[in-house]
Amino acid sequence: MALSFPLAKDEFVGTFKLLGSTFELGRQRVVSNLTGGEIRTAEVAPALWEGQMVIASLPHAAGADLAGLLAALEVPGRSFQIYRRSTLSGPVYDPRGALLSGYTPVIEEFHATDAERLRLSGFPPGYQLAAGDMLGFDYNPGGGTRRALHQVVQGRNADGTGEMQSFITVAPAIRTGAILGTEVDLIRPHCNAVLVPGSVNTGRIAPAVRTGMSFSWRQSLR
């Protein structure tokens, strides 16, 4: 069957074990150092998630399959879904998402003046989001559906009806095109990403395994 892009998270980044990884928000800034010691910065492009994955040793067949996927993804314009790989699949107070079973969180309200704040609803009564939790949702800026991924900076608890009455703060800022009522993903939330050119290492072939495979990635807003 032909590959379909972006590759789903269970078709690529969820198929291998890791020796280590990074997952961080990259700020695209111009920095000026002034003679008085001040540092001035200016955002020149949207903040994007980026990181690196170092893959654990793989049997030869699995290593060859992964090397083939990486070669396919090096073609310009091809992307894949990526999420923060850790022992937590969900929020810190609901690491496996068990409490969310049967519930569908949605965007309830955007802050009128602060693009980093929003309110959510559709939770179990008393559900808690904490700083560091990740959430994702689709948005449409007018050029087709795209995928947003945000980290909670200031969390909140849902009330007895499952609604968060106070705004939560997230990073990065919410982009134009997000819509009220959109479902919010809290279990392995992902963004779309592309490989950083020149970053792919297909590893070394040992007698029984392939070792040393790695790649770097950056979020794609397309």
Q: Classify each residue of 45-64 as buried b or exposed e, where b means 16 or more C-beta atoms within 10 Å of its C-beta.
A: eeebbbbebebebbeeeebe
**Strand extents, DSSP E, 34-115:** 39-55, 58-59, 80-83, 106-110
Q: Which amino acid is at 136?
A: G
Please tell me whether residues 164 and 218 are part of one structural domain. Answer: no
Q: Which amino acid is at 2?
A: A
Please tell me whether residues 126 and 177 are part of one structural domain. Answer: yes
Please tell me whether residues 181 and 198 are part of one structural domain. Answer: no
Which residues are CB-contacts of 206 (< 8 A; sequence separation ≥ 6)? 57
Please tell me whether residues 24 and 61 are part of one structural domain. Answer: yes
pLDDT, tens digit, 9 for 90 and up, residues 23-47? 999 987 667 776 666 777 766 578 9
Q: Is the pLDDT of residue 194 over 70?
A: yes
Range of the domain at 66: 1-87+188-222
Number of domains in the chain: 2
Whole-model pTM: value is 0.90
Please tell me whether residues 98 and 168 are part of one structural domain. Answer: yes
pLDDT, tens digit, 9 for 90 and up, residues 131-165? 999 999 999 988 789 999 999 999 999 999 999 99
Domain with 15 in it: what CATH number? 3.30.200.190
What share of the chain has pLDDT > 90, as a percent?
Answer: 84
Whether 132 and 92 have beta carbons less than 8 Å apart is answered as: yes
d(CA 185, CA 135): 6
Please tell me whether residues 36 and 80 are part of one structural domain. Answer: yes
Alpha helix segments (H runs only) across the chain: 60-73
**Per-residue pLDDT averaged across 206-221, rounded?**
95
Block residue for tokens 């690491």? 95
Which residues are CB-contacts of 5 (< 8 A; sequence separation ≥ 6)? 77, 78, 79, 80
Q: Which region among 15-19, 83-87, 172-176 has the lowest average model confidence (pLDDT)?
A: 83-87
